[in-house]
Structure 1
């Protein structure tokens, strides 16, 4: 595409000579601007991906990727048959019967409303979001009857520790007789968990499935089935297959995206807005390419005229200055790609340095919080960012290069 002559002239123009230092410095700032813009885009996008993945993992890891609930009535009778139908669907790694309801819990520190989750102990132990974030106690003890795993914030409010006793009170009278005493049961706390979300840490209690069934008077029935998938991003096709398998059973299937639509939409919008704002950094840097290339064309007007009189075509002049601008823009994009990918892929290695800066008083808590977020590099996002950098850089070269190619040799030599 570019002949050896065009490459030689373009790179000669990019080298600073006496009297041309300002143009060279402007080009250098353009390159640095694009480098920082592309690197910042890759780093921030990777951190936003990590934040979204971590947030969704905590929410959907606690509640399940798919939930099967009755359309009418409040329980699922004969849930074993439903589990048998679910078991034949590819991509499902766990399907657990569950009982979910609201209770009043009392402890040494007072009383509070809570969300009671009855689930088989082996299913709870299989959920990494709980297993890996235990604060005190052991999930193995949940095999015993009348035991509970309590959210850390709720446990702190009620001053509960492992082996302490709490009382669950169901805020409904037996048989609709409001003069009768409500159901209640004493449970032993075996563990507390802290997933980092106050909404769940401050109001969730897990108990064995049989305990919840007994407390709510459900017998052998449950009010929902929670399903975990091998790949949560493929929830739509699995949900469609599950609905087909359960058609006519009087059951509805809800996926995690619909259940958490407000949070999911907010995270996506925030990520898109952040991407748009940071793209403006690259756009501003490309305007620097336009200005530096325009000054270069003005400075090289006499040289362009001489090249034209020696037989250089307008197309050759156009390609020379496109190559000048593209070298700045594409070089900055590649440098930004290497810098951004290096930082985003090694985010963990930078955390000790940030801690040192914070102790030295050179950084605030905001940077420390940022460094606690995970970083997930998405190949598609990086490809879009690099392509955007290349595209904007090439677009920035077109007008100054066209102006250079339109220079009249006679006029340039007369006024040069």
Structure 2
């Protein structure tokens, strides 16, 4: 498409000579703008992908994909219900759980709210997100009526170590002749976990199921049967199958999408808005290409007239300036692509380095839920960004190139 003659002229025009520094400076700004726009778009989209994926993995790894709740009160005969749910195709596990809000206190005087979950010891050991992230202690000691497993951040905040006692205070107290008295029970910390999500590591505690039933006074019932499925993204068909398997049993079946839909919808909306906003950086850089090429065409009017009188066609002149603009766009896009990819591959190391250099915490887990900055590259999305940048850059060259091709050599030389 581009011959040797057109390439030679285009690259000669791109090299700044005396008196042409200003046009070249605008071209460099255009290149830098496209590079920064592409890199920023790749980095932000990758971080948003990682943020959503990490949150989805943590939430679904700890809380289950489907919950079967009683219409009112504790859920009786939970073992039979769990067995029927396990027989449904697509179900990985069904776990009876007792859950309740508590106030957590320690001998050192610390106190904070938390969520206590009662679960069978064998079920907790089978839950990889907990069993695979034990920091101290062991789940082999999890059992009986006075053992508890807590998050590492909670242990640090309350000054607890393995073997220390933590007291649970329930807001639903027992009624006495003196009024309502809160329920208090001390448990021995046998293990601590760190799943990498601040909300869970600082507020979740696990009790043996039998101990939780005694503490929350659910008798022989549980709060819910927590179900994990093979594909949590396609949870609706499994929900329908569970309803059919349970028949007329009066239960409420709720999926993770129902419980967290507003949160993940907000993340998706934010991601789309960020994409549109950051795309404007590339659009602005493309307009810079337009302005720099128009100035170049104006500056090279005499050269264009001489080329036309020497036999260069309008198509050849148009291709020369197309190549000038395309070179800026392609080089800027490739630079931004490489910069964005390298940044995403090393984003956590860069964050740690900036924290050490400035002494300021970046990406606080108390605000962003996660303990590290995630970035997951979606190569289809990266390709979309690169093609969009190339497309905008090429579109920006069409009008100036057309204007150059339409230059009348007689008028241009007369004006000189």
- TM-score normalised by L of structure 2: 0.83
SS in 2 for 1:365: coil
When residues 33 and 250 of structure 1 are mapped into structure 2, their CA distance, relative to the original with a 3 A threshold, is same
Matches of 1:339 and 1:89, distance apart in 2: 48
Q: After superposition, where does 1:25-64 map in structure 2 within 5 Å? A: 25-64=25-64
Question: C-alpha displacement at 1:184, in angstroms?
Answer: 5.5
Query: 1:245 corresponds to which residue?
Result: 242
Query: 1:65 corresponds to which residue?
Result: 65
1:122-151 deviations in whole A, cap 9, x for unaligned? 332344443455454322211344311134
Matches of 1:43 and 1:158, distance apart in 2: 37
SS in 2 for 1:268: helix
Q: After superposition, where does 1:214-229 map in structure 2 within 5 Å? A: 214-229=214-229
SS in 1 for 2:407: coil
Query: 2:77 corresponds to which residue?
Result: 78
SS in 2 for 1:116: strand
Matched, 1:405 2:400: no
1:37-71 deviations in whole A, cap 9, x for unaligned? 2112212322232233333333333322332323x
Question: C-alpha displacement at 1:289, in angstroms?
Answer: 0.9
Query: 2:325 corresponds to which residue?
Result: 325
Asked whether the equivalents of residues 83 and 94 of structure 2 are also in contact (C-alpha less than 8 Å), the reply is no
Matches of 2:177 and 2:408, distance apart in 1: 100
Query: 1:301 corresponds to which residue?
Result: 301
SS in 2 for 1:399: helix
Question: C-alpha displacement at 1:408, in angstroms?
Answer: 2.0
SS in 2 for 1:304: helix
**What's the Cα RMSD here?**
3.4
Question: C-alpha displacement at 1:373, in angstroms?
Answer: 0.9
SS in 2 for 1:143: coil
SS in 2 for 1:163: coil
When residues 369 and 159 of structure 1 are mapped into structure 2, their CA distance, relative to the original with a 3 A threshold, is closer
Query: 1:10 corresponds to which residue?
Result: 10
Q: Which moved more, 1:5-14 or 1:319-328?
A: 5-14
When residues 338 and 89 of structure 1 are mapped into structure 2, their CA distance, relative to the original with a 3 A threshold, is farther
Question: C-alpha displacement at 1:382, in angstroms?
Answer: 1.0
Query: 1:396 corresponds to which residue?
Result: 396
1:287-306 deviations in whole A, cap 9, x for unaligned? 22112111111122222223
1:19-38 deviations in whole A, cap 9, x for unaligned? 43332332223212211221
Asked whether the equivalents of residues 354 and 368 of structure 1 are also in contact (C-alpha less than 8 Å), the reply is no
Query: 1:288 corresponds to which residue?
Result: 288
1:127-180 deviations in whole A, cap 9, x for unaligned? 444345545432221134431113456556665443233454555466999968
Query: 2:94 corresponds to which residue?
Result: 95
When residues 88 and 337 of structure 1 are mapped into structure 2, their CA distance, relative to the original with a 3 A threshold, is farther
Asked whether the equivalents of residues 90 and 238 of structure 2 are also in contact (C-alpha less than 8 Å), the reply is no
* Equivalent of residue 360 in structure 2, options 361, 365, 369: 365
Asked whether the equivalents of residues 355 and 368 of structure 1 are also in contact (C-alpha less than 8 Å), the reply is no
Asked whether the equivalents of residues 168 and 184 of structure 2 are also in contact (C-alpha less than 8 Å), the reply is yes
When residues 368 and 268 of structure 1 are mapped into structure 2, their CA distance, relative to the original with a 3 A threshold, is closer
Matches of 1:138 and 1:47, distance apart in 2: 34
SS in 1 for 2:49: helix
Q: Which moved more, 1:265-274 or 1:84-93?
A: 84-93
Structure 2: stretches of 5+ with no match in the other structure: 366-370
Q: Which moved more, 1:139-148 or 1:1-10?
A: 1-10
When residues 37 and 168 of structure 1 are mapped into structure 2, their CA distance, relative to the original with a 3 A threshold, is closer
SS in 2 for 1:33: helix
Structure 1: stretches of 5+ with no match in the other structure: none
Query: 2:383 corresponds to which residue?
Result: 383
Question: C-alpha displacement at 1:118, in angstroms?
Answer: 0.8
